Amino acid sequence: MSMVFALAGNQNCGKTTLFNQLTGSHQHVGNFPGVTVERKEGQIKDHPGCEVVDLPGIYSLSPYTAEEIVTRDFLMNEHPDAIINIVDATNIERNLYLTLQLMELQVPMVLALNMMDEVTRSGGSIDVLALARELGIDVVPIVASKGEGVHELVDRTIAAAQEKRVPRKLDFCTGEVHRAIHSISHIIEDHAVRAHIPLRFAATKLVEGDELIFQALGIHEGDKEIIRHIVSDMEQALGTDREAALADMRYDYITALREQAVVKPQATAEQQRSLKIDQVLTHKYFAIPIFLGVMLLVFWLTFSVIGGRLSDWMGVGIEQLTGAVSGALQSAHVSPVLQSLIVDGIFAGVGSVLSFLPIIVVLFFFLSMLEDSGYMARVAFVMDSLLRKIGLSGRSFVPMLIGFGCSVPAIMATRTLPGERDKRMTILLIPFMSCSAKLPIYAVFSAAFFPQNTALFMMGLYVLGIVTGIGAGFLLKNTVFRGNPVPFVMELPAYRLPGLQSTMLHMWQKAKDFIVKAFTIIFLASIAVWFLQNLDFGFNMVTDGSRSMLAALGRFLAPVFRPLGFGNWQSVAALITGLCAKETVVSTFIQLTGAAGTSGLAAALPGLFSPLQAVSFVVFTLLYMPCVAAMAAVRREMGSGLKALGLMAFQTSVAWLMAFLVYTVGLALGF
């Protein structure tokens, strides 16, 4: 048996949680819109050959957003064996709006009523049998977070797919809408059969003016004109536009259905609690200061209390392992050149980066808790008014937030943005959000120059990145990207306690990504740096690193950075290797200075920088062009190598200007 099931539903209805229950796969569960950027696939547990595809969260099948287009294309073109439509039972009216559209596709379908425990707890009830009888599809009550009802859901879905039980054709339209849909159905019936598009779905979409369906049906201009007249007559008779007419039709039916089958619950305890909390956390004046305070607490716990201490212990362990390996190589009389490559190249490069693994894990533990609790959705809501001032909406905050982890998935997440203008402008601003790969740089420099104010130093850098992004946004809004952002509508989920499994999975994913990068990109970069540092252009070994190829390249570019205060070749060389992965800036410094681990590097850095020069250098690394992986993602999303090169030039120019301002102002103030 080989079957494919599509998992479809609104945002924040528990779709990704159900996907994890079905597949047991390591998927991160987020609590804000946009977490499911692309479809995710997984095999259903205990059912070999049964695959489920997690589609983006949507509210309708109208092709207005990237999520709606991805979902509709999959359902219409890839022909899944059945649809699992997950519905938030606490907000059933809004969720059923999508259900009615999915039913029109005439694909076997099962309705999963999620969060039934919350409905019961708040005094509500749903007559599942009456709902199933009226809709003509199986309805299964579940609690996805606890796995309740999931086995029955799978069995019902497999049965519906095997028996090819398509939803009953509901004809609940009346009056002028009924007349319009049925008139258009007669005109396009032959076209719909040839295009393999369900007739009712096609007619409804043509009433909406869906150009993609017009193209798919291949309707000639004469029939198009007739359809336009039919829709125009409907609008005039109803005194409203086509979208509102169809929405009213569907909601009239849903309201009647609710009166038959649903005892509407009181506001759940979670919703009541959320309303009280939001009076403070989304307050007009207090929201942003509270957010900054929360992030300062997270940085303090990460760098000064928990993560920093664990990182120190791991650094000591790596230094001891390096010493043991060095001793073993000497005892085995291994070639000094090979010893240097292994100890001074690979161990110094990879080991120095791995020592920061605890900091990465701890930081994302806290960020995952904030995300899963529902707080980050509030931050997106609060940020909407601010982002609109630079020509974006709160929807762009989600990719930007992901950018604090890694620019690559953040750039890919811009696919969820509804407008091309919003998407491209967001891509240009994402690299200003400090990604986690830069944390080792900040940690070493703060330990070297500001050991008593590490949390403030970190917070200042993150804020500077955001402020610079805002300034760049103003510039872009008034030059390259004139116009207004797409309107932003977002449902705020109720606050919930973060799930331990979800948080641990998130931490594991970040740790795994970091370890994989350490033993691939950084491993290769460390070897390359060792060769560049130890060979001259004649490929002869050098005893003085200042005569190496890396030193020559650094000296060639050093004049560009002298106005910024760090014109030594070592700094320039570290910036160059940082283009592979930002973590290699630290490993390169360790190799060039011969320091014993990160603690040794912290002691050696004051010999290369004054405190002001160090700040200027860190500001430049914060803002200059992202790594090659991020640039490849930019090229894919923008569809142009020239645009990616333009971003590189723009990003690095802004970084140079900001570092120059920091250094110049610092000198003027006597630092």
pLDDT value at residue 81: 95
* Predicted pLDDT at 34: 43
Contact criterion met (CB below 8 Å) for 116 and 142:
yes
Q: How far is CA 653 from CA 389, 649, 660, in A?
A: 23, 6, 11
CA torsion sign for 534, 540, 544, 549 is negative
- CATH of region 175-263: 1.10.287.1770
- Report the distance separating Cα 654 and Cα 614, nearest Å: 18
Residue boundaries of the structural domains of the chain: 3-163, 175-263, 289-485+523-668
What are the average pLDDT values for consecutive 10-residue runs of the chain, which has 671 residues? 90 84 62 48 87 86 74 87 94 90 94 90 86 93 90 95 90 85 92 91 90 88 91 90 87 90 71 81 85 82 78 82 88 85 77 74 80 78 78 76 72 69 84 84 90 85 88 83 62 72 74 74 77 83 79 88 89 85 81 78 89 94 84 76 83 93 92 80
If 0-12 CB within 10 Å is exposed, 13-18 middle and 19+ buried, where does residue 52 land?
buried
Total-model pTM: 0.60
> How many angstroms from the chain centroid is the CA of residue 202?
33
Residue 242: closest CA among 250, 254, 234, 251: 234
E strand or H helix that includes residue 630: helix 628-638
User: What's the pLDDT score for residue 132?
Assistant: 93
Where do we find the tokens 């003509």? 136
Place of tokens 């709006």: 97
CA distance readout (Å), 15 to 11, 31, 63, 168: 8, 11, 21, 24
- Taken in order 117, 120, 121, 122, the sign of the CA dihedral is positive
Determine which helix (DSSP H) or strand (DSSP E) holds 516, and give its type and residue range: helix 500-518
CATH hierarchy code of domain 3-163: 3.40.50.300
Task: Map 329-380 to HEC letters.
Answer: HHHCCCCHHHHHHHHHHHHHHHHHHHCCHHHHHHHHHHHHHHHHHCHHHHHH
Q: Which two tokens stand for residue 167?
A: 């939803």
For the chain, the first-to-last Cα distance in angstroms comes to 72
